[in-house]
Amino acid sequence: MPLKFELCPGRMIGGSNPCFIIAEIGQNHQGDIEIAKKMIKMAKDCGADCAKFQKSELEYKFNKGALERPYTSKHSWGKTYGDHKRHLEFSHEQYRELQKYAKEVGIFFTASGMDEMAVEFLDELDVPFFKVASCDANNFPYLELTAKKGRPMVISSGMQSMATMRRVYQTVKEHNQNFTILQCTSAYPLDPEDVNLCVIAEYQKEFPDIPIGYSGHERGISITVAAVAMGAKVVERHVTLDKSWKGNDHEASLEPSELTELVRAIRLVGRAQGTGIKQMLPCEKACHVKLGKSVVAKVAIPKGTVLSMDMLGVKVGEPRGVSPEDMGQLVGKAVTEDVEEDGSITPRMVDGYNNKG
C-alpha cells in the first residue's frame, strides 16, 4: 500500500507532500446556498485545499422515529428533528451548483456521505474523494460499499477503539489501497485533555503504510498545528463565518482569521519539518567556521612524538585542526613537525591520519 497517494487530481498526500487542509463547512451554512458559496470562497481565500460539506439522504440516515422526535434545542430549525435536518439539507441540484462554484473559485469540493445513498450520489457527482464521518467508522457494510467505489477515502475515527480501527483498516484495505485515517475525538467543542494527539503516533505504528491525519474540534489552532508537527498529513477543521450563529458546530469552528492563521502556521511547520536526514547544512557553515572546535596540543609536542590522549585538548582553534570526533584516530600516530603548546593539530601534521577534509 502507498504511504502517499493522489487524494485529488494533481494533489498528492503523504510523504514529503504538503499537509492537505480540509475546511469542513458541514452544515454551518444555515441552509442558505448563498452563505455556502461565501464559505467556499472564504476557504479558498484562507488557503485551504478543500471545502467539504455533509450530504445525507435523510430517510436512509434516520428512521421514522428519529425524524419525528421533537427538537426544542436553541439550535433547532424546526419543531421536529426531521424538520431541522430538512432545513439544512441541500438538494442534488444545489450540490451540483456548489460543486460548479468551487471549481470556478479553484478549490477542491467534496462531502461526507452520511449514508449509503448519499455515497451513491457523491459518486455520481464525481467528488475527488469520500470522507467517512466518525459515526460511520464502525459501519462495515457502508465502509465496504464505499471502498469498492475505488475513490480515495479519508476516514475519521471518533468514538472508536484501536481494535475497531484495525478492523476498519483491514476492511478498507481489501478493496481500496488509497485511504487515510484521522485521529478524532467527537466532542464539540473539544477540551484539550480529550484530544489524545498521541494516538497519531500509535496509528503511525499500527498502520505504517498509510498517511495518518487529524480531525479537530477544539477551540483555536495550536493543537492542530501540533498534530501536523507530529506527522499529520491531512487535517480537517470546521469553519464558520460567525461563531455566534445557530448550530452546534459553530462554537468549535474557525472563523476566517483563524483559518488563515492555521494555514499559515501549518505551511510554516511544513517548511520546518525537513527530510529527517541529520547532517550539517549549508546555513550552519558560517557558525561552524566561527565556533566549531578542533584538536589542539595541551603541551608542546616535538616532531616525531607519538601522540597520546593526555597530550590533546579541544578548543576553538585558528587555524582549524582535526575534528574532535576524530581525536581517537590521532592516538598512536606520530607528528611530522613540531607543535607548539595550545597550537592547532591539523591533518597534515599527523603521519597516517585519514583526513576526511
Bridge partners for 181 per DSSP: 155, 212
Cα angle value 318/284/294 (rounded, 5°):
30
226 and 108 in a common domain:
yes
Residue 125 lies inside a defined structural domain of this protein: yes
Q: Provide the pLDDT for residue 355.
A: 61
* CATH code for the domain of 108: 3.20.20.70
E runs forming strands in the chain: 4-8, 11-14, 20-26, 50-55, 108-113, 130-132, 153-156, 179-184, 212-216, 234-238, 294-297, 312-315
Q: Residue 178: helix, strand or coil by DSSP?
A: coil
Q: Residue 63: helix, strand or coil by DSSP?
A: coil
145 and 38 in a common domain:
yes
- CB 317, CB 334: distance < 8 Å: no
CA distances from 316 to 110, 137, 355 (A): 59, 59, 19
106 and 236 in a common domain:
yes
302 and 224 in a common domain:
no
250 and 139 in a common domain:
yes
205 and 67 in a common domain:
yes
Q: CA torsion sign, 172 to 174 to 180 to 181?
A: positive
C-alpha cell belonging to residue 310: 593526555
Q: Which helix (H) or strand (E) holds 118?
A: helix 116-125
Residue 351 lies inside a defined structural domain of this protein: no
98 and 34 in a common domain:
yes
Residue 118 lies inside a defined structural domain of this protein: yes
Residue 246 lies inside a defined structural domain of this protein: yes
Bridge partners for 130 per DSSP: 153
119 and 186 in a common domain:
yes
Residue 350 lies inside a defined structural domain of this protein: no
| Among candidate residues 231, 126, 132, the one with its CA nearest the CA of residue 176 | 132
Q: Give me the torsion for CA of 138, 140, 143, 144, rounded to 10°.
A: 160
C-alpha cell belonging to residue 178: 488509497
| Among candidate residues 164, 219, 212, 216, the one with its CA nearest the CA of residue 195 | 216
Domains in the chain, number: 2
183 and 265 in a common domain:
yes
Residue 330 lies inside a defined structural domain of this protein: yes
291 and 268 in a common domain:
no
Question: Which among 273, 290, 321 is the end of a domain?
Answer: 273
Q: Provide the pLDDT for residue 42.
A: 98
Helices H / strands E in the chain, number of each: 13, 12
CA distances from 161 to 213, 226, 308 (A): 16, 22, 61
Spatial separation of the C-alpha atoms in residues 198 and 255, rounded to whole Å? 27
Spatial separation of the C-alpha atoms in residues 182 and 228, rounded to whole Å? 12
Q: Provide the pLDDT for residue 354.
A: 76
Residue ranges making up the domain that contains 253? 5-273
Residue 349 lies inside a defined structural domain of this protein: no
Mean pLDDT by runs of 10 across the 357 residues of the chain is: 87 97 97 98 98 96 95 92 94 98 98 98 98 98 98 98 98 98 97 98 98 98 98 98 93 97 98 94 96 97 97 97 96 97 96 73
Question: Which among 229, 251, 273 is the end of a domain?
Answer: 273
124 and 240 in a common domain:
yes
* CATH code for the domain of 337: 3.90.1210.10
Phi, psi (degrees; rounded to nearest 5) at 253: -105, 165
251 and 122 in a common domain:
yes
Question: Which among 223, 241, 273 is the end of a domain?
Answer: 273
Residue 352 lies inside a defined structural domain of this protein: no
Q: Which amino acid, one-letter code, is at 105?
A: V
Q: Please report the DSSP string for 285-354 in residue order.
A: HHHHHHH--EEEESS-B-TTPBP-GGGEEEE--SS--S-GGGHHHHTT-BBSS-B-TT-B--GGGBTT--
Contacts 24+ apart (CB under 8 A), 286-290: 289/320
The structure's pTM equals: 0.92
